[in-house]
Homo-oligomer: A and B are copies of this chain.
Amino acid sequence: MLDQPQVAAKAAIDPENFALANCLRALAIDAVNAANSGHPGAPMGMADAATVLFRKHLKFDASAPDWPDRDRFVLSNGHASMLLYGLLHLTGYADMTIEQIRNFRQWGAITAGHPEWGHAKGVETTTGPLGQGLATAVGMALAERALAAEFPGLVDHRTWVMLGDGCLQEGIGQEAISLAGHLGLGKLNLLYDNNDITIDGPTSVSFSEDVPARLAACGWHVIRCDGHDAEALDRAMTEAKAETGRPTLIAMKTLIGFGSPNRAGTAKAHGAPLGEEEGALAKAALGWEAAPFEIPAELAGTWQAIGARGAEARAEWEDALAASGQAEAFRHRIEGTLPEGYEAAVAEARKALFDAPQTVATRKASQIALERLAAAVPAMIGGSADLTGSNLTRVAAVDSAFTAEAPGRYIGYGVREFGMAAAMNGLALHGGFRPYGGTFLVFSDYARNAIRLSALMGLGVTYVMTHDSIGLGEDGPTHQPVEHLASLRAIPNLDVFRPADAVETLEAWDIALHRPATPALLALSRQGVPQLREAGAENLTARGAYVIRSFGARRDVTLLATGTEVALAVEAAEALHAEGHGVAVVSMPCWTLFDAQPEAYQAEVLGDAPRIAVEAASAFGWTRYVAREADVVGMPGFGASAPAERLYAEFGITAEAVAARARARIAG
């Protein structure tokens, strides 16, 4: 229960801040009530802090949401979305009209249940999956630091994150905290909504750690303050901005549902509307008299002025940009255009492969491609989750470590796959970068929800996932992906590539760089493969699938394969051809691109003859192209620990097995 004197005492500290914050609280109450779904408690509890932040500290200009040097504001506890929508509406973001607020959580509105990047201006990233906002913000702070070094005087902004207990309970939160502390991201500030309430009740049900002490152990600057004391909040934010060498945590003691007489401080305020009655009681307790969705003119005016606070700074920045001599280069970076010379670099890389074919693992082929591409594309920033020597993600052009002392083009993410993926999302969202990062394909599991967010947001992030099958050998089933290709192919808007050789690997990289709104995942081999492609100017991987070998004038059977199994399919085809059969071998490096081809092309590639597929993975999903799963030579279950060749033989993924399956199908 919240008693009236408590509200009054907080209000008295800074009455204007309190009144402005009440606008946010009222909108949250009204919108959640209107939607009859949503989370009023967190916006009500964080309104005072958000008001101080927007009113006095955040560098932004509501009339120019895309100003590259704006501070980034990330609402990591995305269920508090009405706080963000309220802020955007009140400060005057053009698209965030009161109609949008009234249509909170309704079809077609930009006010989704959780903030969705690309819907409303001012939403810097999609949040809701807990912990990821924070980890994405780490990527934004990395981007700021790296870009500032490249464009001195043009980049100097902070990243502010609001988050709750959930983000700190999620493991990814700790990955982000640890990395940010390690890299001394002094311009990253967290505002922790420490309200002691979680969905299941008081946080004491499951959470009793000393969060500030934990972050201090990870190298953070820590401040504790009352989250409803505007003066204390102002001091804390000022102090945070003064700290340059360490990220800052402002642990704010708050009351969830602040103002609601009967629900404040309880789990009931968390995820359900207050309803008419309690909403009215809350407004009365706050001294709020306006009608639903209405903001008194004076307060509205003050908020509009807050939204324009940064206009001057922005104008100065525009002048600085114009005077910098770097304007064009900077804009190209922010817009993500590939630099002049890029296509030539690809052509040279291609020619080099044709001149001297490479029998290498596709992970090595990726490194060969990266050598030229990363040199041609300064926006590329690499890294690995502590598997650099295995993923082969480090090349000369990015061979400068990102450290606490100086930004670099290579980020040692540590054994933090999920944190890496979310940070890459942040690097892409910030603008100026095309991030890529490596781990083993099997550990895509750890990063999976961030990969999903790359796809949902449509970000130009490239995942370099090596050791892509039982072909990795002795490390055994815990390290051998089986279901991963299928499970990743099922994600909408994700290009999953499994290139067959060095040429396809180069082509996959080229496509990834040309598609900034579609994340790419490269599944690459540990073991070597011959270079099957010998000439030709067309990027055939862009077709998704194509006939890579054809034996005989007619087609008795079509062999479909990806990655390391394409060479094996060719071997099987040669054997079948020697027996008099006509065989086409189709390499299918990317299903989504193939499915986007004209139907006639698809029909021509797939042909009318029976089809056999081979891929050292689960057959799941292959029935898109073959008649039944029995026509897939693949993995029936998990792998085993043994040298790779032995595993292929034991699991029956061999040219002989493919040929035998084909023979049986040809025979009918």
Contacts and interface: CB of A to CB of B under 8 A. Distances in A.
20 contacts: A37-B473, A106-B642, A106-B643, A113-B641, A129-B443, A166-B386, A166-B415, A171-B171, A171-B174, A179-B206, A209-B218, A213-B217, A216-B217, A483-B487, A483-B490, A483-B491, A486-B486, A490-B618, A492-B637, A623-B624
Given A127-B478, A209-B218, A386-B206, A416 B490 contact: no
A588 to B, nearest CB: 15
B621 A107 contact: no
A207 interface: yes
A447 B27 CA distance: 35
Contacts of A623: 621, 623-624
A646 interface: yes
Contact of A207 (B178, B442, B448): B178
Interface string A100-144: 000001111100111010000000001111110000000000000
A487 B174 CA distance: 27
A389 interface: yes
A199 B388 CA distance: 8
Interface string A68-79: 000000000011
Nearest to A218: B209
Interface string A405-423: 0000000111111110000
A479 B114 contact: yes
Copies of this chain held together in the complex: 2
Contacts of A213: 213, 216-217
A523 interface: no
Contacts of A66: none
A171 B181 contact: no
Contact of A214 (B217, B482, B640, B647): B217
Contacts of A388: 199-200
A97 interface: no
8 interchain residue pairs of minimum CB distance: A171-B171, A206-B414, A487-B487, A128-B478, A213-B217, A112-B641, A174-B174, A107-B642
B493 A637 contact: yes
A390 to B, nearest CB: 7
Contacts of A216: 213, 217
A141 to B, nearest CB: 16
Contacts of A448: 445-446, 448
Interface in A469-496: 473-479, 482-483, 486-493
A279 interface: no
Contacts of A401: 205
A476 B171 contact: no
Nearest to A39: B475
A384 interface: yes
A210 B217 contact: yes
Contacts of A647: 107
Contacts of A35: 474
A2 interface: no
B640 A107 contact: yes
A198 interface: yes
Contacts of A151: none
A452 interface: yes
Contacts of A442: 129, 449
Given A443-B449, A479-B113, A170 B171 contact: yes
